[in-house]
Chain A
Amino acid sequence: MPDALFGPMMYVIALLTMGGIYAVIALGLNVQWGLTGLFNAGIAGFFAIGAYTSALLTAPDSPNHLGGFGLPIALGLAGSMLAAGIIAYGVGRICLRLRSDYLAIATIGIAEILRLILKNEAWLTNGPRGIASIPRPFESLGQPWAQLAFLAIVVALVLVAYLAIERGLNAPWGRVMRAIRENDVAAAATGKDVARFRLQAFVFGSMFMGLGGALMAHSFKFIGPDATEPLMTTFLVWVMLIVGGSGNNRGAILGPLVVWTIWSATELVTNRLPPEWITRASYIRVFLIGLLLQIVMQRFARGLLPERPPVVAATPPAAAGAVSARERKKPAE
């Protein structure tokens, strides 16, 4: 392969890898917000739980933090989903009865408490210095195969997440979720245990956020409390999902790829600027991301790939009447 192509190819691989990791997280948020209408503003917290769990499980033994246990990476990823799910269950049990704005405030609060714990409990996490030498899978293959193999893992996980959520969405479970999002009182009136379904969606979505955090930790081979800042996780993922189209799983994959490409492409431009402008340019990028969110919300409120209403199979007249009554309850968009 000519050398001139090698650099750009590695760049594209890195781009797709990061986009894919964010897609896993955005899919998780789509289960919570897009499908069920749960305003989780504490993505960073579940991201951090996943990242640190997998890091501690797979890193080599170190005196600086708990473990590491040197376990295989697959176990680390599974552990990250499990840990994020357990914490989400606890958080969800107490917080999910709150209305949207309050839920957002409460989840941000919990994420910030988690960040303080990661910063302060040095015996567990090595404090602000973070956990280093986290293994990256297939590293022995050398460039570019190691990067390609990692990308393949990420793509496979995005696909698994997509198929799992699509399957749930097209099942009765998904229809209940939509019903709860549109009108929880009506959903409860039809005999659905709204609290239980909400909790399921919250735990299910948070597990993917944890998985995304774990993938990020393995990708960078390092995780510190700064990586769990709300800006780069919570905010960016929200922008990605809204740009892609919340409620649509393909949008939840496309959005991260588009936004991350924009984010990285602006970096290419700003790196050409004179040195005294480079540091400032990164703030222009953040400004533009904020502006992008505003423009998309005002002009293209449904995102790149709008949500498609579920296809309701032909049902006998009596049952069809029951279904359409619930559909009619939906407030006009």
Chain B
Amino acid sequence: MLEFVNFYLIPGLVLGSIYALGAIGVSLLFGILRFAHFAHGDLMTLGAYLALSIVVGFGWPAIAALPLAVLGTAAVAVGIDRVFYRPFRAGPTIIVVIASFGVTLMVRSVVQLVWGVEITSYQTGIQRPLIFFDALRIAERHFYIVGGAVLLVATLHLFLTRSRMGKAMRAMSDDPDLARVTGIDTARVIAWTWVIGAGLAAAGGVFLGIDTQLNPNMGWNLLLPIFAAAILGGIGRPYGAIAGGMVIGMAEELSVYPWITDQPLLSPGYKTAVAFGLMVAILIWRPSGLFRGRVF
């Protein structure tokens, strides 16, 4: 039982938190701008590497570098939107999807160019896990990650429910035409959506870097689970995206638990396929997701 908690449940929770942070952005962007942002995973990569520069340059711990990485990534995302996505706003959304393909290539090659392709990490050496209740072990970094994710999500909740901009954002996600008629400044809402989406993505990237390692493909590998989480939670539903992220993260980790025999239920090589498989299944049988999101 404790083995189950230590090696399957807690990693699932950590992975789920990271997916949730990425999925909120995908879901908000899909809801407000009406397109699947394929470069979102690479924004996570960018955030993780921006933090790496601060960690290496100033000797700060990664968690302290996180706010700066979030701001940097948000600024880059707003810039990318201006240059590469805005010109296509009036046309069919599928063109923007193709443009985001191109941005994926560009962001990743910049990361490879600036930081190299070697696998790196924020700190070297083995981290001792904290020990609680005799056998229940929780690594210190897992505390940071889950705690940080909860803090960010709580802030997001306050923003969406209390601030004018947050309310405008939800209104626009629900019905863009109605929002425009009521005098909401859509350009500002879009800019803020990028700031929030990319900022949370960068935080997710940094958390993944803290949990494991950094490599230029880390974001691309996250992209499909994040889409899966966003669709599972219902497009345009940030709270659904959080739940979706948790479900997908848990499903991935728990799929390799020896449920029936003493062998893993699924060969660990196929762990990531669980997310993809779930995603395709949701798309086909319940495209509105668990929380009745919109289907475009």
Q: Which of B93, B99, B280 has the most CB of A within 10 A?
A: B280
Within 8 A of B (CB), among A277-323: 279-280, 283-287, 289-291, 293-294, 297-298, 301
Q: Is the CB of B272 within 8 A of A283?
A: no
Q: Is B270 in contact with A102, judged by CB distance below 8 angstroms?
A: no
Q: By the criterion CB–CB under 8 Å, are A98 and B287 in contact?
A: yes
- In the bound assembly, the distance between CA atoms of A101 and B220 in angstroms comes to 17
Q: Is the CB of B102 within 8 A of A291?
A: yes
Q: Which residue in B36, B273, B276 is a CB contact (below 8 Å) of A101? A: B36
Complex Cα–Cα for A116 and B106 (A): 25
**Which of A39, A97, A100, A109 has most chain B Cβ within 10 Å?**
A109
Whether the pair B97, A39 counts as a contact (CB closer than 8 A) is yes
Interface membership of chain B positions 269-296, coded 1 if the CB is closer than 8 angstroms to chain A and 0 otherwise = 1101100110110011001000000011
Q: Which residues of B contact A298 (CB under 8 A)?
A: 87-88
| Cα separation A217 to B106 with both chains bound (whole Å) | 28
A287 and B98 contact, CB distance less than 8 A: no
| Cβ contact within 8 Å between A102 and B287 | yes
Cβ of B280: which chain A residues have Cβ within 8 Å of it?
94-95, 106, 109-110
Dominant SS at the A interface? helix
Q: How far is the CA of A297 from the CA of B267 in the complex (A)?
A: 42
Q: A105-B227, A120-B270, A298-B87 are in contact. Are A286 and B97 (CB under 8 A)?
A: no
CB pair B102 A104 closer than 8 Å: no
Q: Does B109 contact A (CB under 8 A)?
A: yes
Given contacts A106-B280, A294-B102, whether A119 and B273 have CB atoms under 8 Å apart is no
> Contacts A113-B277, A242-B98: A287 and B284 contacting too (C-beta < 8 A)?
no
Task: Write the nearest CB–CB distance from B30 to chain A, whole angstroms.
Answer: 8
Q: Is A89 part of the contact surface with B, judged by Cβ < 8 Å? A: no
* B296 and A116 form a contact (CB under 8 A): no
Nearest CB of chain B from residue A202's CB, rounded to whole Å: 15
Roughly how many angstroms separate A101 CA and B97 CA in the complex, as a whole number? 7
Residues from chain B with Cβ under 8 Å of A290 in the complex: 102-106, 109
What CA separation (Å) do A289 and B30 show in the bound complex? 26
A284 to B105, CA, bound (A): 10
Q: Is the CB of A238 within 8 A of B98?
A: yes
A287 in contact with B113 (CB, 8 Å): yes
Q: List the B side residues contacting A101 at CB < 8 Å.
A: 30, 35-36, 93-94, 97, 296
A/B pair count, beta carbons within 8 Å: 122
Q: How far is the CA of A286 from the CA of B112 in the complex (A)?
A: 10
Q: How far is the CA of A113 from the CA of B273 in the complex (A)?
A: 6
Question: Any chain B CB within 8 A of the CB of A235?
Answer: yes
Main secondary structure of the interface of B (DSSP, over half): helix
Decide if A112 is an interface residue (CB 8 Å cutoff): yes
Interface residue from B38, B99, B106, B277 paired with A297 (Cβ < 8 Å):
B99
Indicate whether B150 reaches chain A with its CB closer than 8 angstroms: no
Chain A residues near B102: list those with CB within 8 A: 239, 290-291, 293-294, 297
Q: Flag if A110 contacts B283 (CB, 8 Å).
A: no
B279 — nearest CB in chain A belongs to which residue? A109
Which of A116, A239, A287 is close to B272, meaning CB atoms less than 8 Å apart? A116
B 96-135 to A, binary, CB cutoff 8 A, 1 in contact else 0: 0111011111101110110001000000000000000000
Residues of A within 8 A of B113 (CB): 280, 283-284, 287
Does B112 lie within 8 Å of A238, measured CB to CB?
no
The reply on A108 being an interface residue by CB < 8 A is yes
Residues of A within 8 Å of B88, CB to CB, are 297-298
Asked if B95 is an interface residue, CB under 8 A from chain A, the answer is yes
Contacts of A185 in B (CB 8 A): none
Which residues on A sit within 8 Å (CB–CB) of B284?
Answer: 94-95, 97-98, 106
Among the listed A100, A109, A301, which residue makes an inter-chain contact with B276, where contact means beta carbons less than 8 Å apart?
Answer: A109
Using CB atoms, name the residue of chain A closest to B30.
Answer: A101
B143, CB-defined interface residue at 8 Å: no
Partner of A113, one of B109, B112, B267, B276: B276
Residues of A near B220 (CB, < 8 A) are: 230
A328 within 8 A of B: no
Would you call A291 and B106 a contact (CB within 8 A)?
A: yes
A100-B94, A109-B224 as given contacts; A286 in contact with B105, CB under 8 Å: yes
Report how far A16 CA is from B1 CA in the complex, Å: 61
- Establish whether residues B97 and A100, one from each chain, have CB atoms under 8 Å apart when the complex forms: yes
A298 CA / B88 CA spacing, docked (Å):
8
Asked if A99 CB lies within 8 Å of chain B CBs, one says yes
Q: For B34, give the chain A residue with the smallest CB separation.
A: A101
Cross-chain contact B105 with A105 (CB below 8 angstroms): no
**B105→A289 contact, CB < 8 A:** yes
* Chain B nearest Cβ from A308, distance in angstroms: 20
Cα(A298)–Cα(B96), bound, Å: 11
Separation of A306 and B235 alpha carbons in the complex (Å): 35
**Can you name 26 A-B residue pairings with CB atoms under 8 Å?**
A39-B94, A39-B97, A94-B280, A97-B284, A98-B283, A100-B94, A101-B30, A101-B296, A105-B224, A105-B227, A105-B231, A105-B283, A109-B227, A109-B276, A110-B276, A110-B280, A112-B272, A112-B273, A116-B273, A119-B269, A120-B267, A280-B113, A286-B108, A294-B103, A294-B106, A298-B88
Other CB < 8 Å A-B pairs besides A94-B280, A290-B102, 4 of them? Answer: A108-B224, A113-B276, A242-B98, A294-B102
